[in-house]
Chain A
């Protein structure tokens, strides 16, 4: 089990200051919670798993999680290649991949295998290493994953090479925009590597659902889907209390202010940091009322571009965007989770006359777009903060 859990537990008693860091790279020691996710991902790095697809809203903490995963993976003897695939083309991705490969010292020898300086080439159908020979003429080319798998085997029988490919959905969406089949073929290339080489594991992450780029998702169906959600209450409290300490805020009652921060953001780490920063810009003592004011101000002034939750629906759902808005209005204003039939019967939704099957499809898509959460036969907004954002944006 990952050792960070021990240090986190001790923080329950002694809150450690955490620096407010809105959107930047968070130091590993400042990442609060996520022990359960890390344990689960560690188990998915071992045979027979091939890895996982991390799903979660933008700024929920997927990138920080992948970054934090590096250390326990290396401690377990695995080779790690972490790459941001937030790129617009395969050439840009090749460059990022090469930079990621260079960070893993035990893969530094891949140039030696090829007897020269190597460069990564990424094509729709193959990802390869191309090297110009140091001695003699000509150049050689080798499959990247075969080379990496060999390097992992050289470390020992249970060692694997783990690719952490962040924001892969941005690249897939860009490829799909150019040619619809390219995204599918590229992701199949990655899948082939996972299937061909038992040493190759991939953790993919993306905030845009792959369903926007791929019709059925068979290219990644060998990966376990792992939702990344808001922090649970104790973890969110620990983060909020740490931020209060780290930001030097003068507060009336630290636990009450931290509780207000958690309540007003539903434990969404990015918004907890964002709220802490807004509070640092205030003068005077901060009380729970000040937290409410700052969050309301951020929503009123759209400081976090929460309006986007509404405006992007036209692009995501096109001709059905208005129906989707009415569905979300219904669920966001319901006092408790509602069933599909209850949604279907509301006058706002009924006027669009969707079939029950169509409604279920839309509810599933809204879950994948991080608006909704399904519990048993009922559906609710993904979390309290998303519900509040929706009601605010829609003036409900």
Chain B
């Protein structure tokens, strides 16, 4: 057995623990998957098979040749980077040639205690030689490198560094160069790293690690993958009711809606399985509220770490139509344009916002949006409560489920007249009614509207050029209502009625 955290050994370095695949009653850990049983993580993994095969081949080549194919996994918080790392280490350890040759060393999560290159070396040395002698004084980096070299021998260190962006920030250029020089000179180290987004330290050509890491972007899960994940989790945890519902047509539609709200975030889906029931999932709004409630501490700590100006901008981005220019955001957050631009630059560096150029048109304009769609939902949830979250959930529920959209007609009108907003939205989305052509038009319009709202949900800018005037007005009202605008909210029902009126009285498309 190699020294240190040999693959599959999981020796006391904070890694996922080896063990059986059954989750049983063990708590799920959506924020710290490395604390779960590695086999259970592996068993419930969906949508990452190809990536894991590619990564396994890289670890294997490091174990069996002089190749050191360093890896960087990129994806927003909650997309499953740590999960992939843990499953990779678990699966790779099944290969004896890897198990006997590769020593896993993990830099502490959140970079605790690692702010200099010498800290990183100390961590490697501590892991490889936990009972090593503690001489007087702090060893110089050269001494540590020499000792590590002895400990490793002809094997390979797989150095896992999460939040590489922050660790590199702390190391500075000199520390990054030292790390590179050590890795290149000894040839004993392969890096397995993660970051929320590509950052200048690896993207820019004059940086020591430019082009030094093969980058793999982790997308959110597709609706099918999300359905399988929740079903797998429900089954492994004995939640038969939930598992059965998730696999039904309605369950699939609800998961699709939830997945869209959460940007395909596996973390949100794991929380759904942890807290959800088939009833809550069917209604969707309670399920979304449960997930958001569970994420409150995470989002709150994230928001409190921001400056007051940055928080104003988060609020403005959440309240707006998805993406906005610096000038628009400065106006809506009542900040000087220069202050807003500077804060947005910092937020982009922290991967809180994404800056984008429009696909067509004026490429000089830059739009900003919140990177994490769940953060947007959180802001709505905290500022407007379940009501607004329910609005978006109801829209998506209707959008994703043909069964809800099919026959509606009178029901929709009745609900609208009764002021039942959620019910009316769901019903109106389905169109239909005695006037078939009008119903078909309404149905088509509803599709456009729901697609538009879905765009907003994903933080995209609205494209409404093909939408009729009543539909555009309705979307404005929906967005206004979401922002808490009472006038817009009051106008919602009349606008829905207008949209459903026969064609001659409607505005041109």
Contact = CB atoms under 8 A, between A and B. Distances in A.
Interface string B183-197: 111110010000000
A82 B67 contact: no
A21 B208 contact: no
Contact of A305 (B174, B182, B205, B217): B205
Contacts of A304: 211
Contacts, number: 125
Contact of A103 (B180, B183, B186): B186
B178 interface: yes
A230 to B, nearest CB: 16
A94 B142 contact: yes
Contact of A102 (B141, B149, B178): B149
A166 B145 CA distance: 19
B41 to A, nearest CB: 23
Interface stretch (B21-29, B54-62, B248-256, B479-487): B54-62
A119 B181 CA distance: 18
B208 A24 contact: no
A27 B206 contact: no
Majority-rule SS of A interface residues = mixed
Contact of A87 (B149, B178, B206): B178
Contacts of B183: 25
A58 interface: yes
A9 interface: no
Nearest to B210: A305
B213 interface: yes
B182 A96 contact: yes
Contacts of B174: 87-89, 92
A55 to B, nearest CB: 17
B65 interface: yes
A92 B190 contact: no
A96 B146 CA distance: 10
Interface string B36-53: 000000000000000000
Central interface residue in B57, B70, B187, B205, by most chain A CB within 10 Å: B205
Interface string A99-140: 110110000000000000001000000000000000000000
A270 B145 CA distance: 29
Interface string A44-68: 0000000000000011000100010
Interface residues on A, range: 35 or more
A280 B54 contact: yes
Contact of A24 (B149, B181, B190, B205): B190
B204 interface: yes
Contacts of A277: 214
A250 interface: no
Nearest to B211: A23
Given A19-B61, A305-B203, A100 B185 contact: yes
B186 to A, nearest CB: 6
Given A95-B141, A99-B182, A19 B177 contact: no
Interface in A147-200: 166, 170
A86 B180 contact: yes
B65 A27 contact: yes
Given A166-B184, A280-B54, A25 B67 contact: yes
Contacts of B215: 22
B68 A25 contact: yes
Contacts of B68: 24-25
7 contacts: A24-B70, A30-B67, A84-B181, A95-B145, A99-B149, A99-B185, A305-B203
Interface of A: 19-30, 58-59, 63, 67, 82-89, 92, 94-96, 98-100, 102-103, 119, 166, 170, 270, 274, 277, 280-281, 304-305, 308, 312
Q: Which 6 A-B pairs have the closest CB atoms?
A: A25-B68, A27-B67, A84-B184, A24-B69, A308-B205, A88-B174
